Structure 1
Amino acid sequence: MEEPINSPVPLKSELTDDNSPPELPIILGVLLKSELTDNNSPTEPPISKTPEVVKNSRESLTSTCSLLEPSVSSEPAAAPESSSPELNKDEIKQQDFTKQLPPQKKYSEKITSIKDPNWKKRFGQIMGDAIRTTSSINHHELRIKNIVDYLSNFGVETLKDLFKPPPDCKDAKLSSEYRAKGDYYYTMAIRKSNDKKNLNYLEDAHKNYTMSIAYAPINSIELSLGQASRSAVLFHAKLYADCCDDIDRSIDNGCPDELRAKLLLRKAMCYQILTPDDKINIKKQFDQVYNWIYKMDDNIAVNFRKIVDKQIDIDPADKSKFPIWNYANNIPKLNKISNSKINGLIDDVKLKFTDDFGRHIVAGKDIKPGEIIGVIEPYAKVHFPSMRYKFCCHCGVQTWSSIPCNSCPTIIFCSTECHDAAQAEYHNLECPVFQSMRTIGLKNELFLVARTVAKAIKDAGDINDYQKHLDDAKINTDPLDKSFTNETFNSKKFSNIYNFLGHPLDSQLKITIYAYPILLAYFYVTMTDNFCKRYSVNLTNLKHDPKFLSLIILTQNIMQLINKNSITMMTYCDGDKRAIIHGLYPAINFFNQSSTPSMVSSLQSDKLVLTVIQPIKKGRRIFFNCEQHNSMAIKSEQKNDFLDKYYLAKESMIDNDSSTLSTLEKSTVNGNISAKMIDKLADIKNKLENIIWLVEHFEQTDGNVPDISDIIKDANELIKKTTSRGKNGNEFLIDIFNTLERFYQSYNSPCVKLSG
């Protein structure tokens, strides 16, 4: 049993004569073992206010935002968790807003001060009035100028007048409060370690310690203590390598001398499990512990030395480790020649153009089910709020010993390499913008818009150059490879994906397509250093600034691009399917759409793995069904919107006869499906369902997921036999295809929950 933060004495269990190591070394904590009884449960420390009040605050804020809701997919409602909800800083700081709201004013009234929770509704009403007032202006840039002028005339002289509290930024007090809450959950995790009904405690402790680290100012004692505390959770969860990483960072960030020996003991115990045969290195680790014992209080040091003396000779019996999803094994390397036209696809598929179907992908050879034809990376992506502290912002892998952004509190990375790459590609530009966006509670889809804006500007080099950058890409007018770079589609270049902008805006976006871009452009020109100098915050001056107007237009285009082309990826979290990533995957739009797809995608980190599920003859189109990324199937009345979304100009492009089924229906061969074939399909289904269960509940496994190659080989043999049965085999063949479709759609890298 381990003792939670700053305890003055060691635990009794650590001074026994048993040769087994304690469950945990001494860690940072607040309670002694004697206090961890059922009659004296620790009380969860609040963070500024109770979850119930925070919930009410959230509801009062979101209820006023209907006029500014974008018509893009949002995260499905999550099942209620057993622990208290995550508390965001904007929710904490707004605690006094719900006590006494000012009376609602009509949108036509002049706004002298709108620092209250109703600003979204008022701003939306003013925007609606501004759009109606300027509806007769056909010149787009002139209309934007007039809308901005309309805002300033109604008292919104500076958009900073709108925002209270200040931007969501580092906060030592919040960091300490989240760490105290982590202490509570960690203590409960130890006390109820054998209670299966309370497995969320360790997960909640890790989340709150991670948030404490994220909110801690750079190089602060709060940052060091947060990392030290989280290392205890990681040790308890058997994530020993991550535990060592947190210990090293805690020490580097100025861990107090009197706690350093405790951390080094924990690290030495990790090495006893990670490298049990490297006795020399283990001894070096324990030598460091002895070197720091003298910094401890004399009374504590005597007992602590006894623990170290005993631990150094122990060979831990349990060397098991927490299962970690192997992204390297599950993100396939495309062994075949890369596609000459589209990065991420194999050369066995070809890009074609016809007047009927536009640009589309066809098979360059016969392709069997189970073959991977591509691994596609996003141009830009953001994680949903519930996943923000679990996954690396840049590469998308789940991370346990994450490192935070040095400036904002809601972005984490798995390594310094990802941190530095993200800063160079987009985050140093978007960082202050994200802070203000979170403060005012903008929706997750708009963070994808803001990130794409940052990447587009970085790609062009400067906001002044982006239009020239796009114009250069339009020189090539060949319908097959227009906007390509050197006749190749590069999904990492904004000029390449800009061509997917496509159709005019839908009427329901008229308010949002002006309101949000004006807000985001305002944040970028007044809060970032990319524009050479900080711009005037005065809207009257900004409406004449060409960079500001150019940035609004760019943001409008990107918002439309994302509304038409982004997809939401799902994954399993504790057995439930949850939204994880909202991303812009432009290459997927080269595939025509069908309700009977011949290819599906699965998510590994932030990459889409494209797998064929039906036999495809050479020259046939390859179909994808983006409904798999929607929470609901496309209804008949939505079909025109669906066609427009994927740039399908003709009704025939929704091809329900795209698969082998069309051939079977014309076949004159008759036959029956044998009982042996039915049993074989049942066996395939059972094996695939077992694999999906292992993925869904990955933390309960030993970290190994069975290889599926033999199962897919059996499925192909069954498809071949079924095809020979002709029309009588149609229903059975559909069952096989549906089985493969459900499997690959579910074979995503999971969101693994800590348990212990």
Structure 2
Amino acid sequence: MLWKKESKNILWDKESNQQNALFVDLFANVKFDIPAPRGVLPQKSDQISQRLREKGNDYFVRKDYFAAMKLYNQALCFAENGSEQLSYAYSNRSSCFFRLKLYSKCLVDIELALQSNCAQQLIPKLNDRKAKCLEVLDEELSYFAPKLSHEPDERFPCMVKVLEMQQNVEFGREIVATADIPAGKTIMVEDGFAAGLYGEAGVNCDICYSSYTNLIPCYTCTRSMFCFGKCDKNDFHFVECGLRWKPQGPFDYRYSVVRSIVFALKTFTNVDDLMEFAASAIMSDQFELPDSMLDDKAKYNVFFRNFKSNFPGWSEGHQHGIQSVYEGLISHEFISQKFPTKRKERFLQHLISHHIQARRRMMTINCTMQKGFTPLIGLYFNLSCTPNATLLFSDSGSYVLTIRPIKSGEQLFVHYMDEDFMVKNIGYKERRAKIQRDLNYVCMCERCIAESSNQKAPELFDDSTRYVVLEKIRMGMNQPAYLLIYRKSRPIFKHFK
């Protein structure tokens, strides 16, 4: 066996100690009726597309341009391939971008409309709008996007050079400052790994999760959209397309697990190489520090190693989720060709289970954006209820902002639960219960220890950091990206030097 466990968990166990023994069948004693893995989405329909576009027009008249864009995007998803309805939807969406002073995006949509079997009556209007865009292009607004406040680390470009990852006796791993860092500095900006989208169609790119940009629809399904010229040639959606389960609550993790499995298959040359990597990683120190984050294999290594060797096992509900992901994947021709033998099928069962475990330990949810992100390096920051940094959300991932002055040699702590825990006076019992339930971790920070001993706890923020934190949380923690639009010359919202 790869490791011996006394719990009911049998993840990565084998049927015997023989060299070529199969992994145990995770579903051997599970009695579930798994529904058909491939659900049925509505078919493309020009009539539905037109109705959605006309509904979007109502919002446009009311100057609710973001609501209008969502409906125009849905109209694009339903428009039949080669239909004039595509050009009408692109044209109307370009009007939204024009009104929002996002002229570069408007110009892209104009070209998409002209190239989409454009209705003749639209052409003069589109050319006129194009000329107006070119006249005022220097007055364009732009979206807020977090940027590192210091030079990036050469091996870990997502974080600043004045941070260092170290092993830690108490936490396993830690991130420490190697120089003094003032409050209000952005020290990590990281794209989400194998994220999941939970909201309605028509808002986000299915690949990079960007919102309210030049999205084009999938030619097959009526839900997925991709950034034009950037994400439309992706390696993921050909497996995900049509893989529709009955939703399990507002945050169904199964699609992001599918994406992480496809990421692994894309990263390794073949399944045998992936199996060899998994066998080595499982037997290694789970707190081993990564060498870099410069390529996909390095990123997958960080993701895969975020496991617990004493993992207590799955509930019945999670076993059902594992089996439904497996049945959905193995029914896909591309996946079934990758796993043609019983040995590899069993490996896939355990790989899915391992990915779900790793993802649950790393997942952060932005409920307003309706996205679920899996930070990699971001989860190396340890947790405290009196943090000196905070984990916030961007349009396509997360970033870390310092909320107190940090001295060289000091460990960085974040609180990545939610804004209520950051700004409200919630007692230690409730905090500890939520942290232990969601993160399987008993918080022993100075605030929790003081409060549990009826001593005066340190203030969550001092006067010098309170404004920085609350303003940054208002700007970035749970705000949809479309509220974070900046002028080129000055920001609409205040920001910090």
- Normalised TM-score (structure 2): 0.77
- 1:395 is aligned to 2:197: no
Give 3-state SS (helix, strand or coil) of 1:416's partner: coil
- 1:639 is aligned to 2:432: yes
* Alpha-carbon distance between aligned partners in 2 of 1:492 and 1:221, rounded to the nearest angstrom: 45
Letter in 1 for 2:319: Y
User: For 1:656, which of 447, 459, 465 is the aligned residue?
Assistant: 447
Could you list the runs of 5+ residues in structure 2 that have no partner in the other structure? 1-7, 16-21, 450-454, 485-497
Residues 513 and 747 from structure 1, CA distance in 2 versus in 1: closer, same or farther, beyond 3 angstroms?
Answer: same
Matched-pair contact (CA < 8 Å) for 2:72–2:90:
yes
- Give 1:597-746 correspondences, 5 Å limit: 597-628=387-418, 636=429, 639=432, 642=435, 652=444, 654-656=445-447, 734-746=462-474
- Give 1:475-486 correspondences, 5 Å limit: 477=285, 479-481=287-289, 484-485=290-291
Q: Deviations over 1:459-514 (max 9, x none)?
A: 23444442212234467649542xx356989796222221111265556x411232
In structure 1, the partner of 2:153 is 338
In the TM superposition, what is the alpha-carbon distance from 1:614 to its structure 2 partner?
Answer: 1.0
**Higher mean C-alpha displacement, 591-600 vs 444-453:** 444-453
Matched-pair contact (CA < 8 Å) for 2:386–2:459:
no
Matched-pair contact (CA < 8 Å) for 2:373–2:397:
no
Q: Deviations over 1:563-614 (max 9, x none)?
A: 22200135xxxxxxx2432110021221221111101133332132222111
* Alpha-carbon distance between aligned partners in 2 of 1:733 and 1:477, rounded to the nearest angstrom: 36
User: For 2:57, which of 171, 186, 208 is the aligned residue?
Assistant: 186
* Alpha-carbon distance between aligned partners in 2 of 1:348 and 1:733, rounded to the nearest angstrom: 23
Matched-pair contact (CA < 8 Å) for 1:569–1:603:
yes
Letter in 2 for 1:453: I
User: For 2:72, which of 209, 231, 234 is the aligned residue?
Assistant: 209
In the TM superposition, what is the alpha-carbon distance from 1:406 to its structure 2 partner?
Answer: 2.4
- 1:168 is aligned to 2:17: no
Matched-pair contact (CA < 8 Å) for 1:403–1:413:
yes
Q: Deviations over 1:78-115 (max 9, x none)?
A: xxxxxxxxxxxxxxxxxxxxxxxxxxxxxxxxxxxxxx
- 1:550 is aligned to 2:324: no
- 1:493 is aligned to 2:299: yes
In structure 2, the partner of 1:429 is 239
* Cα RMSD (Å): 4.1
In structure 2, the partner of 1:78 is none
Give 3-state SS (helix, strand or coil) of 2:393's partner: strand
- Give 1:566-577 correspondences, 5 Å limit: 566-569=363-366
Q: Deviations over 1:129-167 (max 9, x none)?
A: xxx9x9xx996954524236x55xxxx5x853x87xx52
Letter in 2 for 1:218: N
Could you list the runs of 5+ residues in structure 1 that have no partner in the other structure? 1-131, 191-197, 277-318, 536-543, 571-577, 659-664, 666-726
Give 3-state SS (helix, strand or coil) of 2:187's partner: strand
Residues 440 and 210 from structure 1, CA distance in 2 versus in 1: closer, same or farther, beyond 3 angstroms?
Answer: same
* Alpha-carbon distance between aligned partners in 2 of 1:401 and 1:732, rounded to the nearest angstrom: 41
Residues 645 and 485 from structure 1, CA distance in 2 versus in 1: closer, same or farther, beyond 3 angstroms?
Answer: farther
In structure 1, the partner of 2:231 is 418
In structure 2, the partner of 1:40 is none
In structure 2, the partner of 1:467 is 275
In structure 1, the partner of 2:185 is 371
In the TM superposition, what is the alpha-carbon distance from 1:441 to its structure 2 partner?
Answer: 8.1
In structure 2, the partner of 1:147 is 29
Q: Which has the larger helix fraction?
A: 1
- 1:752 is aligned to 2:476: no
* Alpha-carbon distance between aligned partners in 1 of 2:125 and 2:293, rounded to the nearest angstrom: 56
- Percent identity of paired positions between Structure 1 and Structure 2: 16
Matched-pair contact (CA < 8 Å) for 1:176–1:222:
no
In the TM superposition, what is the alpha-carbon distance from 1:221 to its structure 2 partner?
Answer: 4.2
Give 3-state SS (helix, strand or coil) of 1:376's partner: strand
* Alpha-carbon distance between aligned partners in 2 of 1:168 and 1:528, rounded to the nearest angstrom: 19
Letter in 1 for 2:256: L
In the TM superposition, what is the alpha-carbon distance from 1:558 to its structure 2 partner?
Answer: 1.3
- Normalised TM-score (structure 1): 0.53
Matched-pair contact (CA < 8 Å) for 1:634–1:642:
no
Letter in 2 for 1:272: A
In structure 1, the partner of 2:452 is none
Give 3-state SS (helix, strand or coil) of 1:601's partner: strand
* Alpha-carbon distance between aligned partners in 2 of 1:561 and 1:568, rounded to the nearest angstrom: 15
Letter in 2 for 1:527: H
Residues 206 and 611 from structure 1, CA distance in 2 versus in 1: closer, same or farther, beyond 3 angstroms?
Answer: closer
Q: Deviations over 1:418-473 (max 9, x none)?
A: 222xx23x22232232xx22689884332222222221222234444422122344
Q: How many residues align?
A: 457
Residues 585 and 634 from structure 1, CA distance in 2 versus in 1: closer, same or farther, beyond 3 angstroms?
Answer: farther
Letter in 1 for 2:355: I
* Alpha-carbon distance between aligned partners in 2 of 1:466 and 1:629, rounded to the nearest angstrom: 39
Letter in 2 for 1:393: D
Letter in 2 for 1:263: L
